[in-house]
A = this chain, B = another copy of it.
Amino acid sequence: MTTPVKVGIVGLGRWAKVLARAAAKSDKLAIVAGYSRSEDKRAAFEQETGIRAAPDLKTLLADPEIKGVILTVPNEQHLPVAEEVAKAGKHIYTEKPIANTLEDGLRIEALQKQYGVQVIVGHSARLLVGTRMIKRAIDQGDLGRVAFIEANFSNERALELTPQTWRWYRDKAPGGPLSQLAIHQFDALHYLGGEISEVSSMASKLSPVGAEVDDQSMTLMRYADGKIAYVGTCWTSPGVYAIRVFGSKGLMHYELDFSTWDTPGEIHKTSTLYIQRGKDGYGKREDIAIPEGDMFRDELEMFAQTCITGRPCELTAHNGNVAVAVVYAALRSIERKGQYVALSEVMAEAQAKVTASARAVA
């Protein structure tokens, strides 16, 4: 057995506790220090997890034993905190999305070369056991030629927004459920289907609460190999998380009870995964048992491995930026009344802005 990799965590809200619980179940890493600007949160975190809180970020980063830092700060702080961490020569794990803007996401990605560290992004949805099983079925050829994928991630959040919640605002939650929920599926479908080439989108605002953001979102995607995909998210309805993959030899459907999301050991108990083969109708669908999993422990162990080897894992900053780019391509498509928007266009423009602003600073 190897010694667990020591890591720190910055941002000590609800999510930090979920990840601390996941880390406690692993022998591959140990969270040895936490930091938040809020003294109350530091005290509460220390009490709840037994992990010591550092008095300031500098102290945490000065510890040579700490090889990497987990960021669970609000999205708009990912870049400034990641910069501090990278300057200290430590690897970075950041929660999804990598950043609210693609420009900031690309800046975070660039920290890797700049400081010789790795950035990994916690797109945990692709690590769901059912999603992994679909990928294996695709790779083994069980589904034949995959042509078509549908996904949905919905909940009732937009019925409860108030001006006091950050998701009310367009700049913090661009496109509403598009950046808050659909982004998980964009990454999962990128994982399942490969390179995404263009995107078209439609949105609507129907919640009576009056928030700035749209609350209905449907996005179509074309893959580089010609497959097409749909991601829908309704922010005013009971919760759904589903993926359906259509292949010439079989169709697989995965659906889970999102209320178990924070307790990943429970997810498999209420999840459904089935395959429908060949020409037979739905009467012959075969249910597939899903083993227990823990996508939060898995992503943290991937981070631990990266801290040891200094090499990237599949949760790359690039993949994180692809998911954000799909969000912005969808927003642009909505502005252009549905027109397909190439992901490469959105990526190139954001990169040009990043380059120009770096030059202006220099």
Contact = CB atoms under 8 A, between A and B. Distances in A.
Interface in A237-260: 237-240, 244, 246-248, 250-251, 255-260
B270 A281 contact: yes
A161 interface: no
Contacts of A248: 156, 159, 236-237
A216 B148 contact: yes
Chain A interface residue bracket vs B: 35 or more
Contacts of A278: 238
Report copies per complex. Answer: 2
Nearest to A215: B147
A281 B257 CA distance: 5
Given A205-B226, A281-B257, A282-B257, A148 B247 contact: no
A78 B246 CA distance: 34
A279 B238 contact: yes
Contacts of A281: 238-239, 257-260, 270
A258 B281 CA distance: 6
Interface string A252-286: 00011111100000000010000011111111000
A36 interface: no
A154 B237 contact: no
6 contacts: A204-B227, A216-B227, A238-B250, A258-B282, A337-B339, A338-B340
Given A238-B250, A240-B246, 19 more contacts: A145-B236, A147-B215, A148-B154, A150-B152, A159-B248, A200-B200, A200-B202, A200-B220, A200-B338, A206-B227, A238-B279, A238-B281, A239-B279, A239-B281, A255-B282, A258-B281, A270-B283, A337-B340, A338-B339
Interface of A: 145, 147-148, 150, 152, 154, 156, 159, 200, 202-206, 208, 215-216, 218, 220, 222, 226-228, 230, 232, 234, 236-240, 244, 246-248, 250-251, 255-260, 270, 276-283, 333, 336-340
